[in-house]
Amino acid sequence: MQNIIETKSDYFRTKRSRIFWITLLLTLLTLTVIGFTFINNNMVPDAQLTVSIAEQPAQARGNGKVFAPERYVLSSTESGFIEQVFVSQGYRVQVGEPLIKIANPELFREFKEVQFEADDIFASVAYEQSQLALELDAIASDLAKARSELKGQRLEVDANQKLREYGIISAVKFEQLKLKVERAEMDVSNLLQRYNAYKKGYASQNAALQAKRKAAEEKVAYFKSRIDALTITSPIDGVVKELELAQGEAISVGNRVLEIVNDKALAADIAIPQYLGFKIDLNAVATIKSPNGEVEGTVDFVDPIVRDGAVMVRVKLPQDLPSWMSMGQSIEAAITTSSITHIAFVNKPKEYSHSEQWRVYRLVNGERVSTDITIISADQDNLFLTPGLNHGEQIVLVPNTTSSTFFD
């Protein structure tokens, strides 16, 4: 009887053990199914696509920003403190318009002293020049008078020449007349030498006086320019972009004060893939696009240096821009190049996300083959790929997160 009871007890223990293991196995299978379902629901599916090759007439696309290439950073050339600010950030100004006035009492005091000194020099120079001119005029007058007397003496000698021949006047008197001519000639010669010597000295003295006056004028002009520099004016028609200082603040030489930009002459810097950038010519037509519309510009500069796989292309925009185009605006650009290009593209799958990294595999006889092909850009409908694919080839796009697990 006891053996029967023990046999039944062993049976029930074995049965309970089987039930436990079956239950545990079913639980594990259920968790596995749930786990795979969760993974499959959260994985980005692969995309199998057909490659197309487009023959395009030289068009390069890229993104960039609008900016103002003509800009002036204005700095102070004098120290002092900000006495008055005439503008604010965003204020539209015209060329020559006052922007900021700096006060410098010490500079004003020096300027007044220089002006007084210059006035004294101007008066002194004017007086000395007038005295030199008077003396020169006096000598010239004496010379003219002497020449006139000489002329009269010569006429008298000529007139008495016949009278002497006929014995009407004595030889003594005639000789006296001739002596007068000689003395008159000597007077003229002496005065002429004196006039030429004085005139030469007059020229050098007058030049020295003029140099003295010019030095005083230049000194006044120098301080006047410094006084004028205390009022900072706009070098162009434009807009105040940045205002660094406020009224009452101290300022030193070289301090940045504000920045003026010409918002009527805008340009755009566009990043173009390097394999297309060097096919762009100067003056090529560029279509600038934004959600608000399109405008056309011309290529003004192509940077010869590649940065981060792209070439910077500068596009000059027309002056009569629409109101929605402004500095700092992000834009897209399509630039016509000088050559025909063949570019591979595929339809953009709905699973595609620009924020993810994708790998491109060739599909050969149903097998995936790794490639160096990458996605270079995308628009609303298509993905554009680097060269190396043929028209009609089948490819598979795989997110990097899954490709590294299943296909590497």
pLDDT tens readout for residues 26-62: 666 665 544 444 344 444 456 678 878 776 666 788 9
Q: What is the pLDDT of residue 314?
A: 94
Q: 378 or 295, which is more confident?
A: 295
On the question of pLDDT at 406 being above 50, the answer is no
Q: What is the pLDDT of residue 208?
A: 86
Q: What is the pLDDT of residues 138-149, one digit of tens each?
A: 888 878 887 887
Calculate the average pLDDT of the chain: 81
On the question of pLDDT at 12 being above 70, the answer is no
Q: Which residues neighbour 242 within 8 Å (Cβ) at sequence distance 6 or greater?
A: 89, 258, 259
Q: What is the pLDDT of residue 44?
A: 43
In the sheet with 71-75, reading across from the earlier edge strand, the strands are 71-75, 256-261, 238-243, 92-93
Q: What is the pLDDT of residue 194?
A: 80
On the question of pLDDT at 377 being above 90, the answer is no
5-9, 44-48, 250-254, 389-393: which has the highest mean pLDDT? 250-254
Give the distance, in angstroms, between the CA of residue 185 and the centroid of all CA atoms in the same chain: 76
On the question of pLDDT at 132 being above 50, the answer is yes
Q: What Cα–Cα distance (Å) separates residue 247 from each residue in 83, 87, 99, 102?
A: 6, 11, 12, 9
Which amino acid belongs to residue 297?
G
Pairwise CA distance, residues 403 & 397, whole Å = 9
On the question of pLDDT at 320 being above 80, the answer is yes
- Mean pLDDT value of segment 192-221: 85
On the question of pLDDT at 9 being above 70, the answer is no
What's the chain's Rg over C-alpha atoms? 50
On the question of pLDDT at 305 being above 80, the answer is yes
Q: How many residues does the chain have?
A: 408
Q: What is the pLDDT of residue 75?
A: 93
Q: 154 or 72, which is more confident?
A: 72
Q: What is the pLDDT of residue 40?
A: 43
Q: What is the pLDDT of residue 356?
A: 78
The neighbouring-strand residues paired with 13 are none
Instruction: Identify the band that residue 339 occupies on the pLDDT scale cut at 50, 70 and 90.
Output: low
Q: What is the pLDDT of residue 297?
A: 92
Pairwise CA distance, residues 372 & 361, whole Å = 9
Q: 87 or 137, which is more confident?
A: 87
Which amino acid belongs to residue 89?
Q
Q: 10 or 127, which is more confident?
A: 127
Q: 65 or 169, which is more confident?
A: 65
The neighbouring-strand residues paired with 267 are 67, 316
Q: What is the pLDDT of residues 96-110, one digit of tens each?
A: 999 999 999 999 999
Q: What is the pLDDT of residue 280?
A: 86
Q: What is the pLDDT of residue 17?
A: 63
Q: What is the pLDDT of residue 10?
A: 53
Burial of 251 by CB count in 10 Å (0-12 exposed, 13-18 middle, 19+ buried)?
buried
Q: Which helix (H) or strand (E) holds 174?
A: helix 171-229
On the question of pLDDT at 7 being above 70, the answer is no
CB atoms within 10 A of CB 301: 14
In this structure, what token pair is assigned to residue 193? 């030498």
- Mean pLDDT value of segment 190-196: 81
Q: Are 381 and 346 in contact (CB under 8 A)?
A: no
For the chain, domains (ranges, CATH) are 47-68+265-406 (2.40.30.170), 71-101+232-261 (2.40.50.100), 105-229 (1.10.287.620)
- 75-101 residues labelled b (16+ CB within 10 A) or e (exposed): ebebebebeebbbeeebebeeeeebbe
Q: Are 107 and 261 in contact (CB under 8 A)?
A: no
